[in-house]
Every structure is written in structure tokens, then in C-alpha cells.
Structure 1
Amino acid sequence: MGSWLLVPADKEKALAQAASAGADVVVLDLARASSEDRKQHTRLAARDFLMSHREQVVAARKFSRWVRIGPIVGMEWRQDLDAAIEGGPEGFVLAECVGPEQVKELAAALYELEGRLGIPNGSTKIIPEVGGSPTSALQLRSFAEELHPRVSGLAWDPALLARSMGARRMRGPGGLWTDALAHVRALVLLTAHARNLEVIEAPFRNLREPEGMTRAAAAAAADGFTGMLAIDPSQVDDINKAFEPSQEQIAEARELVGVFALNPNAHSIAFRGRYVGQAELSKARALLGEG
């Protein structure tokens, strides 16, 4: 799933455009701060969108439905969760996640709600947004060591990290991430790949620089991210193009799956001058749309 369109659930126009944007995933954002009255309206709008798009008849392409909630302080995140789960989203992005304990807290709440609503246990996934402060960035290793089975990927929030450090910029000359942000970005990538998880690049936030958006999407795909967030439908096409597998990648994936099919009991095999295992097989199958 390459393109993840982040949609402010309090914006009617954005919700109306989401289904036809062509994104692989639509993420309804309930984590935005607002008044309690506005929050209630937003929760209902998100629930209605999720329920009305279970059957995607008019969508430009079929998309997964996710919801961004959090942070886990106070009770707002739980109220967001209670409202959204009725729409049966595929998963939740947990904003400002500081450690595995918060993932466990969200997972426990999901377990309770799935049982109450008749949703298959464990089917609702979690992607935590990690590394949003210097302290949590230095604890990223804990996500690999204490991986909850609901966690299907990792994302990161460079804007939050920059604010927490008092940084006045996120990118330097040529659009490259500043040193601290590039370091955290690399840690998120390594942590995700160490546990065979999806890893989602942060959005490119300057809508007035389409060329910068194109470069950012290409860099994310080339660096090993499996997807990227968009904050506007106009960015989706660039992301889809960047993450579309090449014919060479498809051919290699088919060859790898075929070699394992001839050796069904093998844990690892020699392939194109290297040894590959089940993690590489899973990625090949995912690229081919086989799981």
C-alpha cells in the first residue's frame, strides 16, 4: 500500500474527495485538536464515512480505511476510538506514540470493542507514529523488542519532533532532512525492516512545491519505505507512481516465490548470489498481491 491519504475528518470537502483520490489507504484524522462540540461532529462524520464506504462502488480504486487517533492522554483518544470502531476500519494510526505500553493500551481497548461488536479478534491493526520527541526517538529499539501482534507498520512525525527540539527547520539545502531528523528517519526504517513491518514516510507539507513532492516520494520509495502519507489528493498520483513496482522487481518477486514453491520446507534458500528467508518471501508475495 503505497499512498496513504490523510484526511481531516472535520472538513466536509476533504471527506467528499477522499474516495475518488486514488489512494491505496484513506486515513481519517481524528487526532487534530478542536473544541468538544466540534469533536463530536467530527467523530460522527468519520463513522458515517467508514460505514458508507464499506462497499466501495464509486471509488477510483479500492482503498483501505484507517483512522488516526491519539495521543493517549486524557479520554479523547478513547472517545475517538469508540466512535470510529463502529465503521469497521482496517486499523488505527496512533499519533504521538511514546512507547510499546501505549500500543498495549490501545490493543486492550480494541480487544474489548471487537468482542462487543462481533469483529474478529485481532483483525484491527495498529500503526504507531513513533520518534516524536528526543526521548521516544532514543527508545525506538523497544518497538522491535516488544512488538505487539496488532502492529503492522511504523510511521513517524518529523514536524512534532522538530517542535519538541525547538528546531526552526526540518529540511536543509536540496530538500534533505536535517541531521537529527534524518537520524530518526533511519532508525524508524531499520526498526520496521527488522520486524518485517510496513514503514510509512511522513508527508511532504509544502503544496506549493510539486517538484519537491515528486522528489520526496521518489526518495522514500528508493530508501526502503513501503508507503508515504499525502495531505492533499494532488499528491497521491506522485506517490502512486513512486511506489509502483518496476517490471524487474515484479519478475524477481515471481522468481523468488517460484523457487520457494519448489522448496516448500526450506527456511532459507540461495537466490541470485545471496541467501534469502521467509521475510523476503513475504515481501515478494505482498508485492505480487498474494498476501
Structure 2
Amino acid sequence: MRSWILVPADKEKALGQVAGSGADVVVVDLARAASNEAKQHTRLAARDWLSSHREQVVSARRFARWARIGPISSPQWRDDLAAAMEGAPDGIVLAECAGTDEVQQFAAGLYESENRIGVRSGSTKIIPELGGNPAAALHLKPFAEELHPRIVGLGWDAAALARSMGAQRMRGPGGLWSDALAYVRGQVLLAAHAQGLQVIEAPFRDTRDAEGAQRAALAARADGFTGMMAVHPSQVEAINSAFAPSQDEIAEARELIGMFSLNPGAETLPFRGRHVGYKELSRAKALLGED
């Protein structure tokens, strides 16, 4: 899944238009802080959108439906989760995740919600957003080790980290990430690849700079990210284009998959001068849309 578009659940117009954005994944954002009264309206809007788009016309471009919930430190996350789960989303982006213990706590809430609404247990996936504050940013190693089975990818929240440090910028000359943010970005990228997971680049926030957004998407793809978050429909095409596989990559993926099909049960195989295993096979299948 290349393009992920984040749409605030409290923005009625944006929510009404996002299905036609061309994104692979629509993420309905419930993580924005608001009063209890405003939250009630937001939860209903998110539930209704997720429910109404659960059945998609086969001839139309299909997209996955996710919700963004959290952080766990917020007293509102359980009610937000309960509302989103009534729409049976494909997965949850866990905002400002501070550690693997928070994933465990959140997953327990997911199990309860799935059982309550009759969704298959364990079917709702999680992508935690990591390194949202300095303390969390310095404790990312556990995410490169054994993880909860619901986790299918990792992301990071550059804006949250910058706010927590009082930083006056996120990017420097040439559009490069500032040092602290680049450090977290690299750690999240490495942790995801260590686990063979998807890894989602943080969004390019300046919706007026189309060229900058395109450069950011191309850089994310070149650095090893598997997808990127958008904050406006105008950014989706650039992300889809940047992450589209080349003909050489498609040919290599087919060759690798073919080798494993001819050698059932093999854990590793020699391939083009290197040894490959299940992680490489999974990436090849994902690239061809066979995951």
C-alpha cells in the first residue's frame, strides 16, 4: 500500500471527497484533541464514513479503510476506538505510541471491541506512530525485536516530535529533515525492515508546495519506505508515482517468487549473488500485490 491519506473526521467536506482521492488507504483521523461535545460529533462522523464505505463497488478503485486513534495517554482513546470499531476498519494507526507496552494495552481494547461487534478476533491491524516525543524517540529498539502480531507496519509523526521539542522547523535547506527528526526517521525505517514490515513516511505538510511534496515522496521511496502519508488529495498522485515499481523490480519479484514456488519448504535460497528468505519473498509478493 503506497499512498495513505489522513483526513480529519471533523472536516465534513474533506471526509465527503476523500474516497475519490486515489489513495490506497484512507485514514480517518480521530486523534485530534477536542472538547467532549465536539468529540461526539466526530465519532459519529467517523463511524458513519467507515460503515458506508465498507462495501465498495468492484469496478471502482478499491481502498483500505483505517482510523487513527490515540494517544494512549488521552482519556478519550477508548471512546474513539469504540466508535471507529463500529465501522469495522481494516486497521488502526496508533498515534504517538510511546512503547510496546502501549501496543499491548491498545490491542487488548481491540480484542474487546471485535468481540462486542462480531468482527473476527485479531483481524484489525495496527500501525503505531513512533518517536512522537524525545523520551519515546530514544527507546525504539524494542520495535526491532518481537512485536505484537497485529502490527503490520511502522510509522512516525514528525510534527508531534517537533512540537514536543519546541522546534521551529522540521526541514532544513534542500528540504532535508532536521537532525533530531532524521535520527528518529532512520530508526523507524531500520526497525521496520528488521521485522519485514511496511514503513510509512511522515507527510509533507506544505500543501501549497507540489514540487516539494514530489521530492519528499521520491526521497522516501529511495530511502526504503514502502509508502507515505498524504494530508491533501493533491499529494496522492505524486506518492503513487514515486512508489510505483519499475519494470526491473517487477521482473525481479516474479523471478524470486518463482524460485520459491519451485523449492517449496526452502527457508533461504541463493538469488542474484545473495541469499534471500521469507522477508524478501514477502516484499516481492507485496510489490506484485499478492500479499
TM bucket normalised to smaller? over 0.9
Alignment of 1:103-122 (within 5 A): 103-122=103-122
Amino acid at match of 2:47: R
Amino acid at match of 1:41: H
Distance 1:183 1:195 in 2: 19
Distance 2:138 2:173 in 1: 26
Alignment of 1:16-95 (within 5 A): 16-57=16-57, 61-95=61-95
Aligned residue number for residue 290 of structure 1: 290
Q: CA deviation at 1:146?
A: 3.8
Distance 1:81 1:104 in 2: 15
Distance 2:32 2:129 in 1: 14
Q: CA deviation at 1:12?
A: 0.8
Aligned residue number for residue 272 of structure 2: 272
Q: CA deviation at 1:134?
A: 1.5
Unaligned stretches of 5+ in structure 2? Answer: none
Deviations, residues 118-174 of structure 1 (Å, cap 9, x unaligned): 111110011111011121111101122241111111110111111222221111110
Q: Aligned pair 1:129/2:132, yes or no?
A: no
Aligned residue number for residue 247 of structure 1: 247
Amino acid at match of 2:245: P
Amino acid at match of 1:270: P
Deviations, residues 5-34 of structure 1 (Å, cap 9, x unaligned): 000110111011111111000000000111
Is contact 2:2–2:226 with CA below 8 Å preserved after alignment?
A: yes
Amino acid at match of 2:267: H
Distance 2:50 2:197 in 1: 25
Q: CA deviation at 1:60?
A: 5.2
Aligned residue number for residue 147 of structure 2: 147
Distance 1:22 1:60 in 2: 10
The change in CA–CA distance for 1:124 and 1:103 in structure 2 (over 3 A counts) is: same
Aligned residue number for residue 138 of structure 2: 138
Distance 1:103 1:72 in 2: 9
Is contact 1:20–1:60 with CA below 8 Å preserved after alignment?
A: no
Aligned residue number for residue 188 of structure 1: 188
What is the TM-score normalised by the length of structure 1?
0.98
Q: CA deviation at 1:276?
A: 0.6
Is contact 2:144–2:190 with CA below 8 Å preserved after alignment?
A: no
Alignment of 1:174-185 (within 5 A): 174-185=174-185
Q: CA deviation at 1:74?
A: 4.2
Distance 2:73 2:182 in 1: 28
Is contact 1:267–1:277 with CA below 8 Å preserved after alignment?
A: yes
Amino acid at match of 1:93: V
Aligned residue number for residue 281 of structure 1: 281
Aligned residue number for residue 256 of structure 1: 256
Is contact 2:217–2:228 with CA below 8 Å preserved after alignment?
A: yes
Distance 1:276 1:21 in 2: 36
The change in CA–CA distance for 1:175 and 1:155 in structure 2 (over 3 A counts) is: same
Deviations, residues 229-286 of structure 1 (Å, cap 9, x unaligned): 0000010000010111111111000000001111112110110111111100011011
Is contact 1:100–1:146 with CA below 8 Å preserved after alignment?
A: no
Deviations, residues 46-91 of structure 1 (Å, cap 9, x unaligned): 1000110011229951000000010112430000000110111001
Is contact 1:19–1:59 with CA below 8 Å preserved after alignment?
A: no
Amino acid at match of 1:260: F
What is the TM-score normalised by the length of structure 2?
0.98
Distance 1:15 1:58 in 2: 21
Which stretches of structure 1, 4 residues or longer, exceed 3 Å deviation after superposition?
Answer: none
Is contact 2:221–2:227 with CA below 8 Å preserved after alignment?
A: yes
Distance 2:254 2:221 in 1: 20
Q: Provide the identity percentage.
A: 68
Distance 2:265 2:60 in 1: 41
Distance 1:35 1:58 in 2: 39
The change in CA–CA distance for 1:213 and 1:59 in structure 2 (over 3 A counts) is: farther
User: SS at the partner of 1:61?
Assistant: coil
Deviations, residues 184-227 of structure 1 (Å, cap 9, x unaligned): 10000000000011110000001121100000000111111111
Amino acid at match of 1:205: R
